[in-house]
Amino acid sequence: MDNNKIAKSLELMADLMEFQGANAFRLRAYRNGSRVIRDLPEQIADMIANDQDLTQIDGIGKSTAEKCKELVETGQLKKLEEIKAEVPESVLGMLRVPNLGAKKAAKLFNELNIETLDQLKAACEAGEVAKLDGFGEKTQQIILDGLEIAADANKRIYWSEADAIANQLREFFKSCKAVKRLEFAGSYRRGKETVGDLDILIDTDDGETVMDHLTEFPDITKVIARGETKISVRLEQSFQVDLRVVPKKSFGAALQYFTGSKEHNVELRGRAKSAGLRINEYGVYDTSGKKEKYIAGETEADVYATLGLPEFAPELREQRGEFEMAENDALPDLIELSHIRGDLHMHTTATDGKYSIEEMAAAAKERGLKYIAITDHSKRVAMANGLDGKRAKAQWKKIDEINEQSDGKFWIFKGIECDILEAGGMDLSDKILEQADWVLAAIHYGQNQSREQITDRLIGAIENPHVDAVAHPTGRLLNRREPYEVDMSAVMSAVKENNKILELNANPARLDLNDVHVAQAKAQKIPIVINTDAHSINGLDVMQYGIKQARRGGLTKADVVNCATLAKFKKLIGIN
């Protein structure tokens, strides 16, 4: 029972309780506790084993502490199981419909007996939802428009969540001596931002033992199907894992085939056919004679080499020009996490962060970074206690004092995440912004404005001489909110013309820019900064997800400004 599972249980209980109309204070307590637990560096289970008082942790009250202990000791929550008996878990899909909310979802459940998204769609199309008090035609249409997002959220999980499951499975299979080699394939291996299932390939002489071992994985809720060489299981929250037993001579061919993408594989097989070869998941075969002859398949490199091709990085296998780049010896040397030297978007206790400047700096040093920027919110974000000019200058003065006491090998830049106002213009005056080292411009409000308005706001900010970069440029939240309407071609042109930078926000719920926009920026030689947008110490660790997205867009360390040394980055933003 790790911290992530505890946090998910508390979140689920809060969601179902909200559906029942529970006290807002109790909901907030469980959700706050969930966030705190997910960010803790220590494991709750270890703390309970050592008789530590969980209520001493800021954000964990008596009730939450009791629930944690119950989860660790019994593996479940009695209260949660009681609620599940009253409210089917399937109704939570309705809470993922943008702008619906728990109260309206509960009304749909109680008055129309709607439990699934399919039922909700049918009720909207029949006009039944519009007839309910507090709904109407407009709300009904909003629900219909948001159903696709909610449905996708039910089918796919964040890459970061799939990665956590994959890591658990890797560790789990270490104790299975029958496993000779284990690899993951599919969209997970290619690094797609959301993942629908996990594909595992295993080289073994004892497939039965390997498949039996998988059935003992703690999170399995059902064995869906099982054959001689394949088993499919369902984990919690209906996530599927498919395991295939593959012979050594075919392992590389199978890994290439099941990694995909479909478009990449179609191109590869077309080239093979033209060369008198046939490629499938079992190997590469010479078809020029009377009888097919196996010629390769043990490794992916062998498979590609039969066509004179390099072993493509999985993130590039999307049929977006990778074959042409290979023919021209122009495949990029993709960025790696170790190339990152700085993180230029993070928050502290001054606004909605959980740690002080000093604590965030210390955590960044521990992760090998050489510089950071503290970028708390500006005053427009009142719910996060955003900084006005006076508070911003006070924070920057403190950063100056910290830097004066340092040895110069680690640097904190005076930054701000300054809102772009709904009517255009920046949330803080030029007189204030010119005193900052690093200014991120961001949209948090007015996201439903027209394409023209959003684009004009962004371009206006880009043209401001004190703005350095645009944060999370399209405003999307994966599985929760579509990007706002914006002309990204116009935005990129303005960024290039004004020598500014676009952020790739590494938060796994954002990954904004998407991979296509990243590739477009690279093609235009627009510099990218990969930032964590961390609100806690553990939040600094999401950088890896931004790197995965950057690789899908073909970025090298030369394309990313925070791969620069401290001296070079200072020069880039005009600091001596």
Task: Flag whether the pTM goes above 0.75.
Answer: yes
Q: Is 283 helix (H, G, I), strand (E, B) or coil?
A: strand
Q: Are residue 399 and residue 546 in the same domain, yes or no?
A: yes
The pLDDT of residue 3 is above 90? no
* C-alpha closest to that of 445 among 429, 457, 462, 433: 457
Mean pLDDT of 87-107: 79
Name the range with the highest mean pLDDT among 222-231, 417-426, 482-491. 417-426
With contact defined as beta carbons under 8 Å apart, do 572 and 564 qualify? yes
Name the range with the highest mean pLDDT among 6-10, 159-163, 466-470. 466-470
Question: pLDDT of 4-44, one tens digit each?
Answer: 789 888 988 888 888 788 888 888 888 888 888 877 778 89
Distance CA 14, CA 80 (A): 9
CA dihedral over 311, 313, 314, 317, signed as positive or negative: negative
Mean pLDDT of 305-317: 97
The last residue of a domain, from among 91, 120, 155: 155
Q: Are residue 309 and residue 444 in the same domain, yes or no?
A: no
The pLDDT of residue 512 is above 70? yes
Distance CA 267, CA 298 (A): 21
Question: pLDDT of 249-271, one tens digit each?
Answer: 999 999 999 999 999 999 999 99
Q: Is 82 a member of any domain?
A: yes
Q: Are residue 208 and residue 123 in the same domain, yes or no?
A: no
* C-alpha closest to that of 231 among 203, 205, 253, 210: 210
Q: How much is the mean pLDDT over the chain?
A: 93
**Cα distance between the two ends of the chain:** 50
* C-alpha closest to that of 485 among 449, 515, 439: 449
C-alpha Rg value of the chain to the nearest Å: 26
Distance CA 541, CA 430 (A): 33
The pLDDT of residue 515 is above 90? yes
Tokens standing for residue 536: 């806690």
Q: How many helices (H) and strands (E) in the chain?
A: 24, 17
The last residue of a domain, from among 183, 211, 245: 245
The count of structural domains within the chain is 4
Predicted local confidence at residue 28, as pLDDT: 85
With contact defined as beta carbons under 8 Å apart, do 6 and 44 qualify? yes
User: Can you spell out the DSSP letters for 426-448?
Assistant: BSS-HHHHTT-SEEEEE--S-TT
The secondary structure of 500-536, three-state, reads CEEEEECCCCCCECCHHHHHHHHHCCCCEEEECCECC
The pLDDT of residue 53 is above 80? yes
CATH number of the domain where residue 63 is located: 1.10.150.110
Q: Is 15 a member of any domain?
A: yes
The pLDDT of residue 94 is above 90? no
- Among 98-112, 226-240, 289-303, 476-490, the range scoring the smallest mean pLDDT is 98-112
CATH number of the domain where residue 322 is located: 3.30.210.10
Percent of the chain with pLDDT over 70: 99
Distance CA 54, CA 52 (A): 6
Distance CA 325, CA 323 (A): 5
The last residue of a domain, from among 327, 357, 388: 327
Q: Is 332 a member of any domain?
A: no
Q: Are residue 388 and residue 536 in the same domain, yes or no?
A: yes
Q: Is 462 a member of any domain?
A: yes
The pLDDT of residue 62 is above 80? yes
Q: Are residue 307 and residue 318 in the same domain, yes or no?
A: yes
Tokens standing for residue 31: 């959700």
Contacts of 561 (CB under 8 A, 6+ apart): 501, 527, 528, 529, 569, 572
Q: Are residue 399 and residue 491 in the same domain, yes or no?
A: yes
Question: pLDDT of 131-146, one tens digit each?
Answer: 998 898 988 988 888 8
Predicted local confidence at residue 153, as pLDDT: 60
Angle between helices 3-19 and 24-39 (to 10 degrees): 160
Predicted local confidence at residue 98, as pLDDT: 75
Q: Are residue 412 and residue 440 in the same domain, yes or no?
A: yes
The secondary structure of 386-401, three-state, reads CECHHHHHHHHHHHHH
Predicted local confidence at residue 481, as pLDDT: 82
Predicted local confidence at residue 154, as pLDDT: 65
The pLDDT of residue 152 is above 70? no
Q: Are residue 66 and residue 117 in the same domain, yes or no?
A: yes
Q: Are residue 237 and residue 383 in the same domain, yes or no?
A: no
Mean pLDDT of 431-451: 96
Angle between helices 102-112 and 117-125 (to 10 degrees): 80
Beta bridge partners of 439: 416
**Confidence class of residue 102 from pLDDT cuts 50, 70 and 90?**
confident
* C-alpha closest to that of 466 among 421, 426, 423: 426
Expressed as residue numbers, the domain containing 455 is 337-572
The pLDDT of residue 96 is above 80? no
Q: Are residue 391 and residue 421 in the same domain, yes or no?
A: yes
**Confidence class of residue 554 from pLDDT cuts 50, 70 and 90?**
very high
Tokens standing for residue 469: 């970069």
CATH number of the domain where residue 456 is located: 3.20.20.140
The DSSP code for 200 is: E
Question: pLDDT of 470-494, one tens digit each?
Answer: 999 999 999 888 899 999 999 999 9
Q: Are residue 142 and residue 197 in the same domain, yes or no?
A: no
Q: How far apart, in Å, are the Cα atoms of 61 and each of 25, 75, 176, 387, 509?
A: 12, 20, 41, 29, 27
With contact defined as beta carbons under 8 Å apart, do 362 and 333 qualify? no
Mean pLDDT of 262-285: 96
Distance CA 361, CA 350 (A): 15
Q: Are residue 167 and residue 272 in the same domain, yes or no?
A: no
Contacts of 256 (CB under 8 A, 6+ apart): 265, 268, 300, 303, 304
* C-alpha closest to that of 512 among 540, 482, 535: 482
**Confidence class of residue 495 from pLDDT cuts 50, 70 and 90?**
very high
Distance CA 365, CA 381 (A): 29
The pLDDT of residue 191 is above 90? yes
The pLDDT of residue 237 is above 70? no
